[in-house]
Amino acid sequence: MTIAVAGQNASEMESAPIPAHSGRPIALATVLPSLQRGGTEGAASRLTVRLRERGYEAVIIALSGGGWEGYLTQNSVPTVILGHDSRSNVSIVHAARIIWSLTRIFRRLRPDIVSGFLYPISIWSSLAAWLAGVPVVIANRRDCGFQRTEAPLPRWLEVLSYRATTRFVVNSRAVAKSLREQERIASSQIEVIHNGIDVSESDTVQSQSYRRTLGIDATSPVVGMMANFWRHKNHLMLVAAARQVVTEEPGVVFVLAGAESEYCEAVRVAIAR
């Protein structure tokens, strides 16, 4: 297990846990599958930085590292990398090891809130938070059940984690609907918080530079999709929609950007048709 805690090493972390008294700032531990370049990882990383700016004791725990590590280090965010396999289709034995690792960390950090992202990480983090006696446990879901369909956990383990979860936070009404229908989560347990974009980070000069690099006219309407090229992101649906749009509005340009994978070839073929 690799630990990088804002300049502290593992032994310092062991001997100086966050004090549990009413006068201290609220402590939040966010749990992610990895820190690779992705939308969920980026949103959680930026949110953690903002929370720390507002006085929260916010930390990030991830099963594996990735491209967001540099950003977190630059912003002095305490980060714990467990060094576990971040794939969702792991054995129940490996899942038990992850739950126990998280439980030990929560007992040391003593957070007021644990917030786990995605399936099955949110299942594991909820169970670990319950074992560690964390008061508030949040499970964040951002898909309509595909991760659960691809690598389902035993139903009894899911149900046990649901009992340990204070609230489910989702980023759309569609995800909320899938939780109700597929996992039978009560509506009273679900909160919808839509994705947002900080427009203060927009750079019009850089935008024009990108247009020139891609050979796009300065006045052409551009529709962009920023998403890693994974099949469940369904770039093919946007390609089909784009074909209909440009038939009516030939000046519109569609740009797809994200990490490459084998799925890219299927997208290229669909665009070339």
Q: What's the rounded Cα separation, in Å, for the pair 110 and 214?
A: 49
pTM, entire model:
0.80
Residue 13 has a pLDDT of 36
Q: What's the rounded Cα separation, in Å, for the pair 119 and 140?
A: 8
Residue 28 has a pLDDT of 97
Contact (CB, 8 A) for 41 and 66? yes
Residue with token string 């009992």 = 163
Residue 20 has a pLDDT of 46
Beta bridge partners of 64: 34
**Residue 96, C-beta contacts closer than 8 angstroms, at least 6 positions apart:** none
Radius of gyration over every alpha carbon of the chain, rounded to an integer in angstroms: 21
Residue with token string 């670990």 = 128
Q: What's the rounded Cα separation, in Å, for the pair 204 and 202?
A: 6
Contact (CB, 8 A) for 167 and 191? yes
pLDDT averages per 10-residue partition of the chain, 273 residues: 37 38 84 91 94 96 94 96 75 88 96 96 96 97 87 89 96 96 95 86 75 89 89 90 93 89 88 87
Residue 4 has a pLDDT of 42
* 3-state class (DSSP) for residue 50: helix
